[in-house]
Amino acid sequence: MAALDPSPEAGAECDNNQDDDGDGGVNEGCGRVGAKSESGDDCLNAENDDGLGDNPDDDVVNDGCPPVFALWVFPPDTKEGKRLNLTSIYGAPLLDGDTVYFGAYDGNVYALNASDGIPLWRFETDDKVIGSLAWKDGTLYVGSTDGRLYAIDTARCVNSCPRSSARIFDTGSSIWASPLVVNDEIYVAAMDGRLHALDATTLDPVPGFSFQTAAGLLMDPTLASDDTLLVGGIDSELYALDLKTGEQRWKAPFKSGNWLWGKPLVNEDAVYIADLDGNVYAVDLGDGTPKWASPFEAEASIRSALVLAGDALVAVDRRGNAYGIDPEDGSPRWGPTILGKTVFSDPLLLQAAPAATPATDVQGESEVLIFAQGGDLCRIHPADGTPAGVALCAKVPS
């Protein structure tokens, strides 16, 4: 888990010794120049460290520092930190105020100080945590492959978080998907094909709600409209359900027969979704009928969610191929952009923002951030798939 600077300095900002973007780092996004360029702790100050001593190399500050600037990394890269092995992190972190929460494949939920990554507490489930967490009014909701939903009262977690701080609902089947909070209810999808609707406070089942299919539900339950939920999974069918009763409104079977795992993307009257055969589909939110003449076909399976960025629907397959797709008809706009990295996590759209210097009116450009296995961060322009950083992909420094 790392906290990164989303807009490190680059371009003309690399030609001075000033903190142009006001984040405490100088030239933290600038590329490597010269054989004696700076690295390591030299990247954390505003001095020309490689110009000190004999044979100065240049007069540029932080010229060798990585194009990804990590504010902190957890666990820290120390002998003590390396004893803590999270195995994997599949779900996106959840930020509330000054605290960031996430679940890991080691079965624990961690709470960290958002400013420096210092751990505050951890909560132990009885098996792996795969999905993201949900939050409501001081309660953290966690699904585990032990089949239980844990509702953790974070006010009772100070320095440690005992089992007694959580209410527990046992679904009787493994949970891979993230829980979903809607108003005063929480929805939990399980691998026995059942979708549970629970009172968010008591975890009692909601009277009158019932839905179960024959195959496991992998996909995060998704609120598609004020009264419609979307679920799906191993049977390669997307179900639209009544939010209050669980009654099926429609289902959309897809050609591959492979799993639906990535969370669907809803935009107005369209639902976009990908499967583990690498097909991307668009269906009508009202009745589930196809909106494209044929699906878009990627070169490998797609576990990640899709991102809509302007006029491009961005998909990333497992092999690290990124594609720009026309959301109207499914035709290719660009790509593939070959990242050369294995990708399972959801891409993140970083919206354009004003330039950091108040004296200019120049707007920044949107980027799609793609996090790959092995600690790489890849950055692309969604308009054409070209690299948005100094390098297409860069290792997150520890």
Q: What are phi and psi of 243, to 5 degrees?
A: -60, -35
State residue 67's pLDDT score. Answer: 66
pTM reported for the whole predicted model: 0.86
Q: How many Cβ atoms are within 10 Å of 114's Cβ, its own excluded? A: 18
State residue 27's pLDDT score. Answer: 73
Q: Could you report the per-residue pLDDT of 312-358, keeping only the tens digit for each?
A: 999 999 999 999 999 999 999 999 999 999 999 899 998 865 444 44
Tokens of 327: 């959301």
**Which whole number is the average pLDDT over 13-35?**
71
Q: How confident is the model at residue 362 (pLDDT cuts 50, 70, 90)?
A: very low
Q: Could you report the per-residue pLDDT of 127-184, keeping only the tens digit for each?
A: 999 999 999 999 999 999 999 999 999 999 999 999 999 999 999 999 999 999 999 9
State residue 363's pLDDT score. Answer: 39
Using a 10 angstrom Cβ sphere, with 0-12 exposed, 13-18 middle and 19 or more buried, the burial of residue 12 is exposed
Distance separating alpha carbons of residues 29 and 6, to the nearest angstrom: 10
Distance separating alpha carbons of residues 122 and 108, to the nearest angstrom: 6
Q: Does residue 79 or residue 334 have the better pLDDT?
A: 334
- Sequence ranges of the domains in the chain: 1-73
Distance separating alpha carbons of residues 21 and 318, to the nearest angstrom: 34
Q: Could you report the per-residue pLDDT of 230-280, keeping only the tens digit for each?
A: 999 999 999 999 999 999 999 998 877 789 999 999 999 999 999 999 999
